[in-house]
Structure 1
Amino acid sequence: MDVGQQHHLDRTTGHRRDAAVLFADLSGFTELVESVEPEIVYQVVRPLMDDLVDIARRHGGEIQQVLGDGFMCVFGLHTTRGDEAERAVAAGLELVAAGGARLGRPSVHAGVETGEIYVTASWPPAGYGVWGRPVNLAARLCDLAGPGELQIGPRAFAQVRRRFGPARAARTRLKGLTAPVLTHRISPQRVPQHTEPDHAMIDAA
């Protein structure tokens, strides 16, 4: 087998696994870009994005891609511990708390869902590719979330409700999906400061 053929096989083979997917984006990024010089955009956004990436990695997330105003990461990409959804939601809560006007930063919104994904090799600079419904749904949930909010999908919430529940659920129509999705909205402001995360309250979307 020549090197070219081996390279082709490495790029097209993959495996399935259960994982949690987290998307995070900055709110108002387009308005920021339109209102100030690009150097100012960089000075405002880069420190926040660095902090967000550090938070995600500290909770065990692996960054799949970083864009100008957000990123996607996966929990449980290589090792399944059984707490992937909890770590993704905990990271999401910390991410949305890291931004906001009171800190002089753009607000952050995020989305989380879990499920079976298909993992492949990818082209540089991304280290891997991730495909499947949880990826799409987590991205749509991130779009749905308002500034300073985390939206959680039905499978992820079912796995974390003991730690972050109870919650009232709402059926939400998301772009590109034919059926409504059960979504849950959580905001760090709703978490009592004197309690442990196990008693955090979720306010449904």
Structure 2
Amino acid sequence: MDQTPGPRRLERLTVEDPDEDLVLRVARGDPAAVQALVARKLPRVLALAQRMLGDPAEAEDVAQEAMLRAWRQAPHWRPGQARFDTWLHRVGLNLCYDRLRRRREIPTEAPPDRPDEGPAPDRGLFAADTGRRVQAALDALPDRQREALVLCHYQELTNIEAARLMEVSVEAMESLLSRGRRALRAALADLAPGREGR
């Protein structure tokens, strides 16, 4: 079951949260604020979910659910308790983990067919194949290593921010990143520069 964190569990602010005013306006029912919040946050939540799940349709569902929870949480938001962005990332990650758990609980005989979303066949074949290989290697990582890499490399959080979000020490975060990078390097060794034509 999803355990959506409340804002009180996350770090206290020392600087003003740039999203606070927007969230307060959403809480008051301002439609323009809702539209602005979605425009500002949806792309990052969607990118996070796509990297964690590797499935565009599931990622869209997660992103929409996260934004719905943000809208519902807005009237209960207490400025100064936590950064809204941190809370929203945690909600998105929890929703992703719920879906990943469900995948493990429902065995399938064969993987579902996915449409090829790469570039046209006559161009970009190597880039499309590389992107699929990277995503497959990322999908094969243990959940915590994948989460650390997605937060730091794709969501561009600092190690400190990602460690807080994952509720681990900075040293543990660096260890997860190191192990994840090592596993990716091993899985993608043949893609090293100069080896494309081999």
TM-score, normalised to structure 1, is 0.31
Higher helix fraction (1 or 2): 2
Higher strand fraction (1 or 2): 1
Larger radius of gyration: 2
User: Relative contact order, CA 8 A, sep 6+: which one is greater?
Assistant: 2
TM-score, normalised to structure 2, is 0.31
